[in-house]
């Protein structure tokens, strides 16, 4: 913000800091532990009057001075140089806040240098007593340097009360300073033993080598309990949020963990091999190997410590790119570039958009990322995203995966950064892809009905207004093909009767849809996905696209479940509204008693490709392409430490609900995992830059430019949007997350959601079970008041859902007269007005709900004067003005 940026794309400033810091820390801890080692070992030589041990200490001192004073001193200067470039704001705070402590550290450092030089150069001339005093002065001064520097380093992770008080003493004596001090003291002893081993292999006399090796290995093992116990104490002081965000969500931490754990095991086990009597060359090779493993150990620890304070340089106070947390709101309102002193672009135009994006990238991203570089390559990380996907990533950055800082700036600045990454670095178009238009009117005539002669009325409906199908079976599935049709047979009369005896219902799909196996790979991957083998063109329930309904005695309806219908016609036409013809047949005579038609709506137009680059699978119209699916799996693997992409490559795609419980597919999932709907909405809501109905359109097949319309009924025609019933995306996700009381990660998904009503007033709900209740708005089955809102008033259970509910007298499903959810009569299908209204057109020559406008004779054979099925039924249709 207040300093210029070092534009280093291949090796970013943060990586330079890491390289220099690990080397310096490795040597500096030896400098401290080595001082204790020199004093103690020299004292041992004096007490035992062992001249060969004394000679070994003298030679070790020579090596010690060269390593710590020369390489240690140079790398120490390098640390200050590199942090001044990489994080000047933080460096300035450290200097100004702790100037008194730095002064003390320099005094101890000066004493340390003098003492070591005197000890080394006057080794032979000083008396034993004076030499040990000088060694002790050095050891104490070196440890006091560690004490002071440790307090300042720990301040960056756990600043404690300093954030409020700005008192340097509060910053220095912070929650992690003492546990870290004990831990680092243990490190110094371990480093002393490691370097002592190397000195032994080069400077010790042959007859003393094995004794000294055993002595130096003891230093490693003395340090071990100190390291173990203090590490537990140290980790307990890490902020709770950081423990989850940085040590569970951050996949990068895995490498550092592995390096630390593996190097710990190797260090202690391989050191014991030195006790074996082998040749000196092999021992020296093992000594250098141990030293290298020690360097890796330090690297692993320091990286974990750095990860622990992400996304901050100073935890909860200063972000990694130099912005103070307290300035975030102001900068978001006014603009990042305006407040960035060294930015060359202050106002964004179409002409300078990419340059502005590059400026923002340099200031906000370059501290952690590279461009085609050694670490955190932004090109590799963003290659699976579209331009809009990058916008969404920036919008949600730091909200769930809190190890990254949030993007700071205006919406235009976010778009400029996304354009620079997409167009400038990835060579992708800075626009949102849309499918090829495929909607065309498909005229469909209803079947005939003779109200004078026909003895039966047959009503068939889909309990879902749109069955969605994921057709990426080679990679994953979460909604396999499996549409359901339900039916009610009414024997007409003065007192109509619902019948199910002596009859059967058969169905057949319209020509061109009979062979879905030509269009998707479900049948090739049914075994790994669903643990069953199914014949081609049959669904998971064994039903095909021509067959017979079953009687469901519990629901009291005929049902044909699991029909593998797809929107792909064999002639290459995309039609998400295939027609089924259903015949009612007398079982004894075989006579057709009644026939009707119904749409079985089905969509494969999941809009994952809008963010996850890869386009559409089927003729650029619909479907999840291989590349889109791969990018989704890679994102899941990265964010949740899974290995689904490699599993799919080996022919084992994943069924998402094997882990995530899901009522709609009947999956129990794995205990501890959030249900599927909550996981999807809870996660993606944090990355959704829209909060109105556009958020729904982004994922569901109902976008204005899409070829499928999930929501196409009278409510849509009257101007109601998704959010009027379900709430906006943040509300929707919040209600679902609040329903997951046992979820450990729900609070992190909830933290940055901003629903349109206070969170404490939102009623938790379970997906597919607790839905908006029609009677919340239609109180007494009457016209809703203008202020009516359906969300936050949920049905109690499954039996109260509109798609399951029945009226009180004859127990007819509500769908019988009103049609399917989101397709309530009259429905307005872009593929033809008749398509969703075939049964109203058949039975009463209009597209109104069955029986509307006093048309009770559809079933009753005469006009009725009693509101039998529900109150307020005997009236004219109130929204007649919206009909075509």
Question: According to the model, what pLDDT value does residue 744 have?
Answer: 74
Residues 177 and 32 in one domain: yes
Q: Are strands 483-491 and 557-563 parallel, antiparallel or unpaired?
A: antiparallel
Cα dihedral 801, 738, 669, 648 sign: positive
Phi, psi of 690, rounded to the nearest 5 degrees: -105, 150
Question: According to the model, what pLDDT value does residue 277 have?
Answer: 78
Listed range (232-236, 242-246, 572-576, 818-822) with the worst mean pLDDT: 242-246
- Where residue 589 falls (left for φ over 0; alpha for ψ -120 to 50; beta otherwise) is alpha
Average pLDDT for residues 141-152, to the nearest whole number? Answer: 96
Residues 467 and 574 in one domain: yes
Does a structural domain hold residue 637? no
Does a structural domain hold residue 193? yes
Question: According to the model, what pLDDT value does residue 820 have?
Answer: 96
Question: According to the model, what pLDDT value does residue 355 have?
Answer: 95
- Count of domains for the chain: 4
Q: pLDDT per residue over 627-639, tens digit each?
A: 999 999 999 998 8
Residue among 313, 267, 294, 405 at smallest CA distance from 30 = 294
Residues 694 and 565 in one domain: no
Residues 126 and 234 in one domain: yes
Average pLDDT for residues 283-307, to the nearest whole number? Answer: 94
Query: Do 405 and 459 touch, CB atoms closer than 8 A?
Result: no
Residues 307 and 329 in one domain: no
Structure-block tokens of residue 370: 């590279």
Does a structural domain hold residue 5? no
Q: pLDDT per residue over 149-199, tens digit each?
A: 999 999 999 999 999 999 999 999 999 999 999 999 999 999 999 999 999
E-state strands within 554-640: 557-563, 579-586, 592-599, 602-603, 616-618, 622-624
Cβ-based neighbour number of residue 30 at 10 Å: 27
Average pLDDT for residues 533-542, to the nearest whole number? Answer: 96
**Nearest-10 crossing angle of helices 88-97, 72-86:** 110
Residues 62 and 80 in one domain: yes
Task: Classify residue 764 as exposed, middle or buried by CB count within 10 Å of its CB (0-12, 13-18, 19+).
Answer: middle
Q: pLDDT per residue over 99-127, tens digit each?
A: 999 999 999 999 999 999 999 999 999 99
Structure-block tokens of residue 362: 């340099």
Residues 684 and 668 in one domain: yes
Asked if the model's pLDDT at residue 742 lies above 80, the reply is: no
Residues 721 and 864 in one domain: yes
Q: What is the CATH number of the domain that holds 473?
A: 2.60.40
Structure-block tokens of residue 336: 């990042």
Domain coverage including residue 369 = 323-425
Residues 6+ apart with CB under 8 A from 701: 466, 468, 576, 603, 605, 606, 607, 622, 708, 709, 710
> Whole-angstrom distance between the N-terminal and C-terminal Cα of the chain?
59
Structure-block tokens of residue 517: 């196996």
What's the residue count for the chain?
Answer: 884
Residues 377 and 471 in one domain: no
Tokens 């931490």, located at residue: 253
Task: Classify residue 825 as exposed, middle or buried by CB count within 10 Å of its CB (0-12, 13-18, 19+).
Answer: buried
C-alpha–C-alpha distance, residues 653 and 666, integer Å = 19
Angle at 552 between CA 549 and CA 554, to 5 degrees: 170
Q: Given 3-state DSSP classes, what are the helix, strand and coil percentages for the chain, each rounded to the nearest 5?
A: 50, 10, 40
Residues 355 and 241 in one domain: no
Does a structural domain hold residue 690? yes
Residues 107 and 126 in one domain: yes
Query: Do 551 and 488 touch, CB atoms closer than 8 A?
Result: no
Residues 473 and 387 in one domain: no
Listed range (2-11, 459-468, 695-704) with the worst mean pLDDT: 2-11
Average pLDDT for residues 688-700, to the nearest whole number? Answer: 93
Phi, psi of 489, rounded to the nearest 5 degrees: -110, 125
Listed range (266-270, 530-534, 745-749, 764-768) with the worst mean pLDDT: 745-749
From the DSSP assignment, how many helices (H) and strands (E) are in the chain? 32, 17
Asked if the model's pLDDT at residue 706 lies above 70, the reply is: yes
Residues 6+ apart with CB under 8 A from 308: 157, 238, 242, 246, 247
Residue where one domain finishes, among candidates 566, 581, 603: 603
Q: pLDDT per residue over 309-346, tens digit each?
A: 989 999 999 999 999 999 999 999 999 999 898 999 99
Confidence bin at 1 (pLDDT 50/70/90)? low
Q: Residue 370 has what DSSP assignment? A: B
- Strand partners for 506: 548, 583
Q: pLDDT per residue over 834-873, tens digit each?
A: 999 999 999 999 999 999 999 899 999 888 888 888 888 8
Does a structural domain hold residue 768? yes
- Please tell me which residue, 274 or 624, carries the higher pLDDT value: 624
Average pLDDT for residues 275-285, to the nearest whole number? Answer: 88
Residues 6+ apart with CB under 8 A from 363: 1, 5, 321, 322, 336, 340, 343
> Alpha helices, DSSP H only, in 237-279?
240-244, 253-273
Average pLDDT for residues 802-816, to the nearest whole number? Answer: 90
How many CA atoms are closer than 13 Å to the CA of 748, on its beta-carbon side?
Answer: 23
């Amino acid at each position: 913000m207040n300093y210029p940026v070092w534009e280093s794309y291949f090796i970013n400033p943060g990586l330079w800091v890491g390289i220099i810091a690990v080397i310096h820390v490795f040597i500096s801890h030896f400098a401290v532990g080595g001082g204790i080692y020199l004093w103690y070992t020299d004292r041992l030589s004096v007490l035992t009057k062992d001249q060969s041990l004394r000679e070994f200490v003298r030679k070790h001192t020579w090596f010690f001075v060269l390593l710590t004073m020369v390489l240690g001193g140079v790398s120490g200067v390098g640390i200050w140089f590199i942090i001044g470039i990489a994080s000047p704001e933080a460096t300035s705070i450290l200097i100004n806040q702790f100037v008194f402590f730095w002064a003390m550290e320099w005094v101890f450092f000066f004493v340390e240098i003098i003492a070591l030089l005197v000890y080394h150069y006057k080794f032979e001339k000083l008396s034993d007593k004076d030499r040990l005093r000088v060694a002790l002065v050095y050891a104490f001064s070196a440890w006091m340097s560690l004490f002071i520097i440790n307090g300042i380093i720990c301040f960056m992770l756990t600043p404690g009360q300093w954030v409020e008080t700005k008192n340097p003493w509060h910053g220095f004596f912070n929650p992690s300073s003492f546990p870290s001090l004990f831990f680092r003291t243990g490190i110094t002893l371990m480093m002393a033993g490691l370097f002592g081993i190397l000195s032994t292999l080069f400077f010790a006399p042959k007859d003393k080598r094995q004794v000294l090796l055993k002595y130096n290995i003891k230093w490693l093992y003395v340090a071990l309990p100190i390291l173990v116990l203090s590490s537990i104490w140290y980790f307990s002081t890490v902020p709770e949020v950081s423990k989850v965000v940085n040590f569970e969500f951050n996949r990068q931490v895995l490498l550092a963990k592995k390096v630390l754990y593996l190097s710990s095991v190797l260090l202690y086990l391989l050191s014991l091999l030195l006790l074996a009597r082998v040749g000196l060359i092999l021992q020296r090779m093992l000594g250098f190997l141990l030293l290298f493993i020690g360097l890796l150990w330090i690297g692993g620890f320091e990286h974990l410590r750095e990860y622990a304070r992400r996304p901050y340089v100073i935890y909860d106070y200063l972000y990694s790119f130099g912005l103070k947390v307290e300035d975030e709101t102001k900068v978001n309102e006014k603009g990042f570039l305006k407040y960035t002193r060294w930015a060359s672009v202050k106002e964004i135009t179409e002409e300078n958009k990419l340059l502005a994006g590059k400026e923002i990238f340099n200031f906000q991203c370059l501290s952690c990322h590279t461009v085609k570089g050694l670490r955190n390559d932004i090109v590799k990380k963003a290659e699976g995203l579209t331009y809009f996907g990058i916008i969404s990533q920036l919008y949600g950055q730091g909200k769930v995966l809190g190890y990254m800082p949030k993007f700071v700036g205006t919406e235009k600045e976010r778009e400029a950064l996304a354009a620079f990454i997409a167009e400038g670095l990835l060579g992708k178009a800075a626009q949102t892809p849309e499918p090829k238009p495929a909607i065309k009117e498909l005229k469909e005539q209803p079947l005939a009905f003779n109200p004078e002669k026909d003895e039966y009325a047959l009503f068939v409906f889909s309990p879902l207004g749109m069955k969605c199908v994921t057709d990426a079976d080679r990679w994953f599935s979460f909604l396999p093909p499996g549409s359901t049709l339900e039916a009610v047979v009414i024997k007409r009369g003065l007192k109509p009767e619902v019948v199910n005896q002596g009859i059967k219902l058969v169905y057949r799909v319209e020509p061109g849809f009979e062979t879905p196996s030509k269009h998707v790979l479900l049948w090739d991957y049914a075994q790994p996905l669903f643990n069953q083998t199914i014949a081609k063109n049959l669904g998971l329930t064994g039903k095909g696209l021509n067959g017979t309904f079953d009687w469901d005695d519990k629901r009291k309806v005929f049902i044909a479940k699991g029909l593998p219908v797809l929107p792909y016609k064999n002639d290459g036409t995309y039609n998400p509204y295939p027609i089924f013809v259903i015949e009612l047949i007398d079982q004894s005579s075989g006579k057709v008693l009644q026939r009707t038609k119904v749409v079985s709506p089905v969509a494969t137009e999941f809009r994952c490709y809008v963010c996850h680059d890869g386009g559409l699978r089927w003729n650029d119209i619909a479907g999840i392409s291989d590349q889109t699916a791969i990018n989704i799996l890679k994102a899941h693997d990265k964010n949740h430490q899974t290995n689904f992409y490699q599993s799919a490559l080996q022919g084992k795609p994943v069924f998402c609900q094997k882990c995530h419980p899901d009522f709609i597919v009947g999956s129990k999932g794995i205990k501890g995992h959030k249900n599927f709907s909550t996981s999807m909405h809870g996660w993606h809501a944090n990355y959704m830059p829209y909060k109105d109905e556009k958020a729904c359109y982004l994922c569901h097949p109902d976008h204005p430019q899409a070829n499928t319309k999930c929501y196409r009924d009278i409510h849509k025609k009257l101007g109601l949007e998704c959010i009027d019933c379900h709430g906006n995306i943040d509300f929707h996700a919040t209600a679902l997350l609040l329903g997951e009381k046992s979820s450990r990660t729900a609070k992190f998904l909830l933290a940055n959601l901003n629903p349109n009503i206070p969170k404490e007033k939102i009623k938790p709900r379970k997906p597919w079970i607790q839905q908006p209740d029609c009677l919340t708005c239609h109180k007494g089955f009457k016209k809703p008041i203008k202020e009516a809102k359906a969300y936050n008033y949920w049905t109690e259970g499954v039996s109260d859902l509109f798609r399951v509910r029945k009226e009180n007298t004859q127990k007819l499903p509500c769908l019988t007269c009103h049609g399917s959810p989101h397709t309530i009569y009259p429905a307005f299908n872009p593929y033809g007005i008749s398509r969703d209204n075939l049964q109203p057109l058949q039975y009463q020559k209009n597209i109104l709900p069955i029986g509307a406008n006093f048309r009770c004779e559809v079933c009753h054979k005469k006009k009725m004067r009693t509101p039998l099925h529900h109150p307020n039924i005997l009236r004219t249709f109130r929204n007649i003005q919206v009909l075509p």
